[in-house]
Amino acid sequence: MRWHTLAVHAGTEPDPLTGAVMTPVYFTSTYAQEAPGVHKGYEYSRTHNPTRTALEMAFAQLEGAKYGLAFASGLAATDAVLRLLRPGDHVIAGRDLYGGTYRILRRVFENWGLQVDFVHTSDPAQVEAAFRPNTKMIWVETPTNPLLHISPIAILAEIAHNRGARLVVDNTFATPYLQQPLQLGADIVVHSATKYLGGHSDVVLGAVMLNSDADYEQLRFLQNAVGGVPGPMDCFLVLRGIKTLPLRMQKHSENAQRLAEALSAHPKIERVYYPGLPSHPGHLIAKQQMRLFGGMLSVELKVKDVNDLRPFWEALRIFTLAESLGGVESLINHPARMTHASIPEEERKALGITEGLLRLSVGIEDADDLLEDFSQALRKIP
């Protein structure tokens, strides 16, 4: 099946009972049994729910995976995947990860006994050098958040497999329409479906996709044993979002490319981070492993004092100042004070997350309106 067809039909079949074309939302916690232990495959909704089953099938199909699992949030999905490891195991993680992923590694899993090193995964030599005898996992985002670094998935998969480790890719920024890490050799894909898969900023949900039978059994066990599951309405919302994923990603990418090119020439902007610009250091690898370059871009303003940005925030009419990303509407975020505030200041500076850095989640509005809005707000900066 080709992409636009797949997105519309993934996980969705007319309801066998009623013929309902759209997946019913099964608001039920329990299921009638004919005799003790005799049932139709559903016993209790933490374990299974038909709306969630449909979404999990869609997740698997989108990433070309054998299995898909849905969790209550991207971080609940991340938590489950990290629990595949044992205390004493070592993880090599990317340096500018999503702030919440950094936080769960440092403040939850280090206490649990994981050892974690953060390296620039865009440079495979750094990843190889970080290996220890107990390294069991490489955790990568590409493009990264918020600086849009690109890591070569196929090369990292080879490095991981040569040393008996798994490669996990958080594919939230790219989405399966733009990039399919499992096809490039990754072992596990994680998504915050809160972002592009849901696509409308109206739901929080997480996904895991993988091919390994053993890891799937363990994740399915953890999903039920720990219980971080999404409700049926949330599953429905993500199923609905997925139907337009390719259409939305095309427009997000087209708009972001327009903005990246226009803002590169703007006198108040020091630097634009967007993998679709030929000047971006990861451009060639992005071109190999991504269909388009996505809807996220970051800009470094020449202003260094965040207080000078006040009139800029106030002047924005279409862009909304908010955390999160991946919805149809354009959002703007100040990583140092918002999404990445949980990273210690020293570390943030070392990463390049400065006070002048803005991260844009470019929506699917008209690119001319977005550009006009951004430009008129920039003019308000002293």
**Which residues belong to the active site?**
46, 98, 170, 195
The 10 Å CB-count burial string (b at 16+, else e) for 188-227 is bbbbbbbbbbbbebebbbbbbbbbbeebbebbbebbeeee
204 binds ligand PLP per the rule CB under 6 A: yes
Count of residues near ligand PLP by CB under 6 A: 16
Residue 182: closest CA among 195, 198, 166: 166
Strands of 115-119's sheet in order across: 67-71, 206-210, 188-192, 166-170, 135-141, 90-94, 115-119
To 5 degrees, how large is the angle CA 87–CA 140–CA 182?
100
On the 0-12 / 13-18 / 19+ scale of CB atoms within 10 A, 1 is exposed
| Among 48, 52, 106, 195, interactor with ligand PLP by CB under 6 A | 195
To 5 degrees, how large is the angle CA 282–CA 153–CA 181?
120
Q: Please name the residues in contact with 109: beta carbons below 8 A apart, sequence gap of 6 or more.
A: 82, 91, 116
Q: Report the C-alpha gap between 381 and 309 in whole angstroms.
A: 6
Q: What track of x and - describes contact with ligand PLP for positions 130 through 159 (by CB under 6 A)?
A: -----------x---x--------------
| Among 170, 234, 355, 373, interactor with ligand PLP by CB under 6 A | 170
Q: Report the C-alpha gap between 112 and 118 in whole angstroms.
A: 18
109 binds ligand PLP per the rule CB under 6 A: no
Residue 256: closest CA among 233, 231, 232, 273: 273
* Residue 194 Cβ vs ligand PLP, minimum distance, rounded to whole Å: 4
201 binds ligand PLP per the rule CB under 6 A: no
| Among 61, 135, 175, 192, interactor with ligand PLP by CB under 6 A | 192
> Among residues 132 and 337, whose Cβ is nearest to ligand PLP?
337
> Among residues 97 and 367, whose Cβ is nearest to ligand PLP?
97
Residue 248: closest CA among 183, 187, 201, 314: 201
Give the DSSP letter of residue 209: E
> Among residues 276 and 294, whose Cβ is nearest to ligand PLP?
294
> Among residues 323 and 369, whose Cβ is nearest to ligand PLP?
323
Q: Please name the residues in contact with 346: beta carbons below 8 A apart, sequence gap of 6 or more.
A: none
In the range 248-307, which residues lie near ligand PLP by CB under 6 A? none
CB atoms within 10 A of CB 358: 22
Q: What track of x and - describes contact with ligand PLP for positions 354 through 373 (by CB under 6 A)?
A: --------------------
In the range 81-100, which residues lie near ligand PLP by CB under 6 A? 98, 100
| Among 51, 53, 61, 73, interactor with ligand PLP by CB under 6 A | 73
* Residue 221 Cβ vs ligand PLP, minimum distance, rounded to whole Å: 21
Both structure tokens of 183: 């096809």
> Among residues 84 and 238, whose Cβ is nearest to ligand PLP?
238
206 binds ligand PLP per the rule CB under 6 A: yes
| Among 194, 255, 289, 330, interactor with ligand PLP by CB under 6 A | 194
> Among residues 116 and 371, whose Cβ is nearest to ligand PLP?
116
11 binds ligand PLP per the rule CB under 6 A: no
Residues that bind ligand PLP (CB under 6 A): 73-75, 98, 100-101, 141, 145, 170, 172-173, 192, 194-195, 204, 206
